[in-house]
Structure 1
Amino acid sequence: MIFSYNWLQSFFREKLPKPEQLAELLTMHIFEVEEIKKVGSDWAINIDVLPNRAADCFAHMGIAREIAAITNEKFQPPAPKLKESRKIKTKDFVTVEVRDKNDCSRYTAKVISKTKIGDSPSWMQERLKVCGLRPINNIVDAVNYVMLETGQPLHAFDLNKTAKPRETKRETARKIIVRRAKKGEKILTLEGEAYELDENILTIADLEGPLVIAGIKGGKRAEVDEKTTTVLLEAANFNPSLTRRSSRQLGLKTDASLRFEHGLDINLTELAISRAAQLISEIAGGEAAQGIVDAYSKKAPARRVKLDFGYAEKLLGAKISSKDAKSILSKLGFEFTGEKSGSVITVVPSWRLDIELPEDVIEEIARIHGYNRIAPVFPRAALVPPARNDDIFWGDVARNILKENGLTEVYTYSFISENEAGIMGYGTRDLVEVANSASQDQKYMRPSLTPNLLKAVEKNQKQFTEIKVFELGKVFRRNVAEKNMLSGALSGSAFYVAKGMVGQLLRGLGISDIWYDEYRPTPEESKSSIWHKQKCAEIKSGKEEVGFLGEIVPRVLGQMGITMPVAVFDLDFEKLQKLATEEYVYRPVSKYPAAVRDLAVLVPRNTKSEEVLNIIEIAGGELVRDTDLFDIYEGEELPDGKKNLAFRIIYQAGDHTLTSGEIDKIHNKIINALEENPEWEARR
């Protein structure tokens, strides 16, 4: 909002700091100054007034009061000295009816007769221009001037253009009615724009219809022009919420509506109307009628807030004496009552609508005192680390392991449709139905993470040739407590890839004794019908099943719209948490080179790779640093019922470089151990 430097200076006898210095003071103590601009012999100061201070600081008077408190200069507010006519009274010219006190808590009116319309004086025009308003005539300029000075919007009517009293009555006074518009009523604004009104819009009307859109815009019918001789001044306090809604509904925002939307001091109407009457009498030669017509619903009681000086010191972290605190508040218009040792009751000025709590009062003291004068002190507190949440801790560990293996975490809905439940083999006795579900696609809570992971594969298969996704989340089964599951889906013939990733995940969680039971595997958390019978296995740690692994049958993939093979692992994460451990066995990295040998073993098709691996590692002893299965081959060239397993063996010693003779000896020992089984053949 733009303010005139010369106008602000008019509230003080002493010279104010230069505009740049004043801007710095305002920024440090109240509002940020966005721009200072030279305009003729004046300066336009653009101040970013915060919404909670609109009631008093959307006006020069409010900013001047703040400057007085900051600079310790004496503030001289306008004190209207109005000479009123002894012959005429406002109540003889106009009566006011407010239909709903909630819409308009106060409506003040005053009449000025014998006005002469002309240009306003140059000093007034200059101040209006600096603030961005266009001078119109002395009457309109005077009410705009008072709005910028006090913050109270006013409106001036040509009283003679309002509807005369009905002939059947003896009344001579014109009647002003504050009421809601009737549906379909229309009004032509001062700019000549027509608006259709309804019951949501508050109007100022006479006996013939609306004159003004209350708090927003004046109407053309009672416009002040060069022929106006009797002016009716209006200063009111309209409901902020109603004004805001009306402004938005009509798409009409004005300087007046901006102020009414934020709320105004109900006591401001009388000061503003007296000030406007004084200016009009001085610059338009008018004669002010005695008194005012004041429709006032109820006088607002003064707000009182207790200020505890000890609490203020604790909150600010600095001691400001009670004398200095009271001095600051006095400059801001606060009064005091009920003073006791260590505390005082502050009486909040009516224009400070933002002050409600003790903290609000303490903030006033602090900002005028200067936050820069409060020494920064590190807070003292006992920092107690929270107890570890194992769900979060092990969840993060698992996520990181899978992400390092190239999988992408996804978050899917916790619901599935009836059709998807049928595809996955679930009946209604297994499912938890959602009450008042948003759609048929969200009819049931998900009993497994697998259906939605398959949907993720289906949606991404057109964009990606390789898909690797996983999810950690809750599943829901009827009559079974909800539990955390960890599932992943990999596209392609990826059974062994998924198996390797599961093994790496479980080792990363510190879970030992991992093996895969491929003999008549039966999943605990899903239906057997969705798994490929020759490519699935129970994942076990010791004797306990912790999950299931396998490829999804083509029938399910086709019904889900998936055109590529998919392997899935489904792990009971709550079981994994109980088995997981942070204990690791470390051994030093050998500084001596390693040697690599490959070994192929021809075995029966039902032989597990783990059986062969165990014999290799037992026979090789400590010098076998690592063994990896890198190929499985089943082809026509092999004998019936046989498969070929290819292993890569890494030999390394911790205290010397192994010779070829040592490596050959160990390698042959492994071959002999393998061939002790008559059905196994080491292929050299």
Structure 2
Amino acid sequence: MIVSYNWLKEFVEFDLPPEELAHLLTMLGLEVEGMERRFGDLDNVVVAQVIDKQQHPNADKLSLCKVDNGAEILGIVCGAQNFKAGDKVALAQIGAVLPGDFRIKKSKIRGEESSGMLCSEKELGLAEDSAGIMILPQDLQLGTPVFDALGLKDTIFEVGLTPNRADCLSVVGIAREVAAKLGKRISYPVQKVVESGAPIDTVASVTVEDPHGCPRYTARYISGCTIGPSPQWLVNRLQAVGMRSINNVVDVTNYVLLEYGHPLHAFDFDLLTARKIVVKRASDQDKFTTLDGQERVLISTDLTICDGEKAVALAGIMGGGNSEIRDVTRNILLESAYFAPSGIRRTSKRLGLHTESSHRFERGTDINILTRALDRAASLIAELASGSVATGVIDVYPQPVEQRKITLNCSKVNKLLGLDLSEQEIVHFLERLEFKAKQIERGVYEIVIPTFRVDIEREIDLIEEVARLNGYERIPVTMPLARVFSDRPPRHQRLETQIRSLLVDQGFNEVINFSFVSPSALEKLLPEADVAPPVPIKLLNPLAEEQSVMRTTLISGLLETVKRNLNFRTMTLRIFELRRIYLAHPERELPEEPMMLGAVMVGRRNPEGWNQGKEEVDFYDAKGVAEHLLASLRIRQPLFSTSDLPPYFHPGKSCRIFSGTEAVGSVGELHPTVSENFGIDKQIFYIEFNFEKLLSHVDAVPTIVPPPRFPDTFRDVALLLDEELPAQDVVGYLQALNVPELEGIDIFDFYKGEHVPEGKKSIAIRIRYRSADRTLTDDEVNPIHQRLVEKMVKNLKASIR
């Protein structure tokens, strides 16, 4: 919000210098982000009087003047002809720097010395164009800086408002805050509407078909207007806050917008076909051209102002080119309405059309200020455009809004703020903000909230108002009570940290992706068309279609990251993410949010270098990372199985990871179709763990096993097995026999081909035996080994090679 120091002083009497006023506003929560002194650097442009004006002896179009600046008589050469001796003018003296960095120096023009320059409005930055030099009123004192004499010197504040303080998007709103803080009274603008002519009901009508989107609509009719330039005071006031002057009628609507914070709109009444206003929703694919000349395609949720046949304004955002005020406009219908913030915000965001009007309606204006702003604007238009205001006001207000009432407990105010304010002080602070207080019982009051304070909803909001008015700096500083306690993180946090460290040690980098994904990203994870995708949780108000559902897996985000890096020529990647996914629960409103670990490997096994190999990572690299992770977490005897794989894994190059009978993760190559769906033409190896399940299998206390005292012995056996039987099943079978002397099982050879029957494979197994209390002899080991081999031959349908 841009606000003028001089404009504020029209509503509140105060003598604070601009710097102190900026501090006061900031301490009220209205942070002053910048200050600009308007015309503060032009004090060397002073009021002067032309004593004599003669023709320049060496130039037909120049004049040689003698000018009195109150201290001396100066010779000035001037090219303008719109002045005479005796006129008071603006003299830029030697050393003055005019807008545009134009520095005034003593010079000779056609042989005559000129000790300054007589200035026009354009040269002083007061107008875009001017026909001659600026003629000043005769009552101004010579030598006075021009901008002081004309009252144009000002300080402009740029106030950064939080979205909830819509009431301060106006000069009146900020003046109200200053008055409340200083204990002053605010002087509101006076509306004096002189009505004449026929009642407005006989001239125009208003119908509101969507009272939810437009709870109130008011209008006045002004006839016989003359459109022309605005008076200089109005032009100066708008320019001071960064608005350009258009014409006297439009300038008035902008002036009242800034003054009261409520947008208004003026229609050329003669361009309204049916001579009436209808507020209604647009139809899908309706086209409407706004004042900026852009054609907008509307949808059924957009609220429009129509003339009975066509749209003439986009409600609360911008008017249409088919009803704008023109130079020939004579009759005006002036609108002052209230539009629901949600509807304006939705339409403005969709169309990318943000205006001063929508900025205020989106945040919530005062529904009960409509007629006051309407009358203020109507009286100014009648004065500046010589119009006649019709009798009466159209006011469509089917369900008047009542002021909210909130109960305030004064003891709670002091308890929360750490103060010792009396009931009278607390009530007085609120009354200075134009709240009304009624005592219910001792220390408890019913506070009536004015409708311009749309941000006050709860008791705590009233307590904040007391804190603001009393002064944040007056809240006592107390040292917090320090307690010494152990800050040992819980077990799951320690394991999260451990897993991150383990993966970083393996050369991985952690990434963080959005929890919101596109529905199509989940479909890309299905290599087969007949597999139904998981049902994701949809967002009610997504930012974009690409982020419209909650992720059900980490792999989609990781693959998007891989694709982006590959596009930037980063061809070797090891990345992981340890975050939550969101799974809809059929019986609960809230989803399940398990923590998952996903890690991707792609590219070279070793960093690029002259002494490094060029081999690419493969399944065993990924499986090695998974095994290292499991071993470091002390998960004993994990099992790897090719059954029940997630659909995005390659069925022949992937496996599930079990701890006991529970699946805790998967590892392997992604299905080529999945990689292709994401636009990746490289082999992708993926490691996935359910952190919650993994956590339940981690040994809480490390087990220390002393080194063996007695030597081991081993026996080898080569088995001929069915090709479909996983080698892991052989290992699992032997472990399940629970032979005390059996210490370890290793598969050290695999063969399939010549001398091996079709449908069979050969694996060689080394079985290690050891006893904890003695050295085993061959006579002890051989019978045990023989029984194991016989059991494998019988139960695994194997034969000895």
Q: Same fold (TM over 0.5)?
A: yes
**Alignment partners' CA distance in 2, 1:388 and 1:190:** 61
- Cα–Cα, structure 1 residues 400 and 125, in superposed 2: closer, same or farther, change >3 Å? closer
Deviation at 1:386, TM superposition (A): 8.6
Deviation at 1:114, TM superposition (A): 2.3
Q: 1:38 to 1:507 in 2, by over 3 A?
A: closer
Structure 1 segment 477-492 matched on structure 2, within 5 A: none
Change (3 A) 1:549 1:90: farther
Q: Secondary structure of 1:127's partner?
A: helix
Deviation for aligned residue 1:198: 3.8
Query: Does the aligned pair in 1 maintain the 2:304–2:311 contact within 8 Å?
Result: yes
User: 1:228 offset after TM fit, Å?
Assistant: 2.1
Partners of 2:323 and 2:313 in 1: CA distance: 9
CA distance in 2 between counterparts of 1:481 and 1:233 reads: 79
SS in 2 for 1:117: coil
Aligned amino acid, residue 726 of structure 2:
S
CA distance in 2 between partners of 1:253 and 1:260 (Å): 11
The one of 246, 260, 265 equivalent to 1:150 is 260
| Distance in structure 2 (CA, Å) of the matches to 1:12 and 1:487 | 72
- Alpha-carbon displacement from aligned partner over 1:654-679 (angstroms, at most 9, x marks no partner): xxxxxxxxxxxxxxxxxxxxxxxxxx
Q: Is the 1:531–1:550 contact (alpha carbons within 8 Å) kept by the matching residues of 2?
A: no
C-alpha displacement at 1:50, in angstroms? 0.9
What is the aligned partner in structure 2 of residue 97 from structure 1?
207
Structure 2 unaligned runs (5+)?
A: 40-152, 514-524, 537-551, 557-582, 584-595, 606-614, 645-657, 669-697, 718-723, 753-764, 776-801
Give SS of 1:34's match. strand
Q: Which residues in structure 2 correspond to 1:3-402 (within 5 Å)?
A: 3-15=3-15, 17-40=16-39, 41-54=153-166, 56-85=167-196, 87-164=197-274, 174-380=275-481, 389-390=490-491, 392-393=493-494, 395=495, 399=499
Q: How does 1:372-521 map to 2 (within 5 A)?
A: 372-380=473-481, 389-390=490-491, 392-393=493-494, 395=495, 399=499, 456=600, 461=605, 469-470=625-626, 471=629, 509=702, 511-513=704-706
Q: Deviations over 1:618-668 (max 9, x none)?
A: xxxxxxxxxxxxxxxxxxxxxxxxxxxxxxxxxxxxxxxxxxxxxxxxxxx
Deviations 1:544-564 (A, max 9, x none): 999998889799xxxxxxxxx
State the secondary structure of the residue aligned to 1:133.
Answer: coil
- Partners of 1:217 and 1:537 lie apart in 2 by 80
SS in 1 for 2:625: strand
Shift in Å at residue 400 of structure 1?
8.8
* C-alpha distance in structure 2 between counterparts of 1:348 and 1:258, whole Å: 23
State the shift of 1:251 in Å. Answer: 2.8
1:549–1:259 distance in 2 versus 1, CA, 3 Å: farther
Question: How far did residue 210 of structure 1 move?
Answer: 1.4
Contact 1:532 1:553 in 2 (8 A): no
* Secondary structure of the corresponding residue to residue 469 of structure 1: helix
Q: CA deviation at 1:283?
A: 1.8
Q: Give the direction of change, closer, same or farther, for the CA distance of 1:249–1:391 in structure 2 (3 Å limit).
A: closer
Write out per-residue CA displacement over residues 164-208 of structure 1, whole angstroms, 9 at most, x where no aligned residue.
5xxxxxxxxx32111122345443333333334343322211133
What is the number of equivalent residue pairs in this alignment? Answer: 508
Higher relative contact order (CA 8 A, sep 6+): 1
Quick one: distance in 2 between partners of 1:418 and 1:210? 48
Is 2:266–2:332's contact at 8 Å kept on the other side of the alignment? yes
Matches of 1:32 and 1:270, distance apart in 2: 30
1:23-69 CA-partner distances (Å, limit 9, x unpaired):
11111221211111122312221111111112x11111111111112
Q: Which has the higher helix share?
A: 1
Q: TM-score, normalised by structure 1?
A: 0.63
Does the residue aligned with 2:396 lie in a helix, a strand or coil? strand
AA paired with 2:188? Answer: P
**Matched letter for residue 247 of structure 2:** N
1:2 equivalent in structure 2: 2
Q: Distance in 1 between matches of 2:331 and 2:598?
A: 81
SS in 1 for 2:430: helix
2:36 is paired with a residue of what secondary structure? strand
- Structure 1: which 5+ runs fail to align? 165-173, 420-432, 446-451, 490-504, 522-526, 556-604, 616-684
Note if contact 2:713-2:770 (Cα within 8 Å) is conserved in structure 1.
Answer: no
Cα drift, residue 382 of structure 1: 7.0
How far 1:108 moved relative to its partner?
A: 0.2
Q: Say whether the 8 Å CA contact 2:602–2:617 is kept in structure 1.
A: no
In the alignment, is the contact (CA less than 8 A) between 1:532 and 1:552 conserved in 2?
no
Could you report, residue by residue, the CA deviation over 1:360-398 in whole angstroms, capped at 9, with x for unpaired residues? 1101111221111111223448777699855555x3696
Q: TM-score when scaled to structure 2?
A: 0.55
Cα deviations across residues 343-364 of structure 1 (Å, max 9, x unaligned)?
1111011111111110011011
Q: Distance in 2 between matches of 1:248 and 1:101?
A: 22
Change (3 A) 1:333 1:51: same
Q: Percent identity?
A: 33
C-alpha deviation, 1:511, in angstroms? 2.5
Distance 1:186 1:510, change over 3 A: closer
Residue 529 (1) aligns with residue 640 (2)? no
Would the aligned equivalents of 1:514 and 1:542 in 2 still touch at CA under 8 Å? no
Aligned-partner Cα distance in 2 for 1:70–1:64: 10
* Alpha carbons of structure 1 residues 396 and 546: separation in structure 2 relative to 1, 3 Å: farther
Give SS of 1:349's match. coil
In 2, are the aligned partners of 1:517 and 1:537 still within 8 Å (CA)? no
Q: How far apart are the structure 1 equivalents of 2:729 and 2:30?
A: 71
Deviation at 1:250, TM superposition (A): 2.8
What amino acid is aligned across from residue 8 of structure 1 in structure 2? Answer: L
* Matched letter for residue 44 of structure 1: I
Change (3 A) 1:51 1:2: same
Contact (CA 8 Å) 2:746, 2:766: kept in 1 or not? no
Equivalent pair of 1:304/1:348 in contact (CA under 8 Å): yes
Task: Note closer, same or farther for the CA distance 1:311–1:382 as it changes in structure 2 (3 Å cut).
Answer: farther
Q: Deviations over 1:445-473 (max 9, x none)?
A: 9xxxxxx9999567664667988634469
Distance 1:487 1:217, change over 3 A: closer
Shift of 1:11: 0.5
Provide closer, same or farther for how the CA distance between residues 63 and 509 of structure 1 changes in structure 2, counting only shifts above 3 A. Answer: same
Matches of 1:113 and 1:205, distance apart in 2: 20
Task: Supply the distance in 1 between the matched residues of 2:504 and 2:208 (Cα, whole angstroms).
Answer: 73
Aligned to 2:683: none
Structure 1 residues 460 and 305: CA distance shift in structure 2, 3 A: farther
1:108 touches 1:236 (CA, 8 Å); kept in 2?
A: yes
SS at match of 2:216: strand
CA drift of 1:517 comes to 11
| 3-state SS, counterpart of residue 75 of structure 1 | coil
Q: Distance in 1 between matches of 2:497 and 2:739?
A: 22
Bigger mean CA deviation after superposition, 355-364 or 403-412: 403-412
| CA distance in structure 2 between the aligned counterparts of 1:352 and 1:507, rounded to whole angstroms | 57
Letter in structure 2 aligned against 1:73: K
Kept in 2: contact 1:154–1:233 (CA 8 A): yes
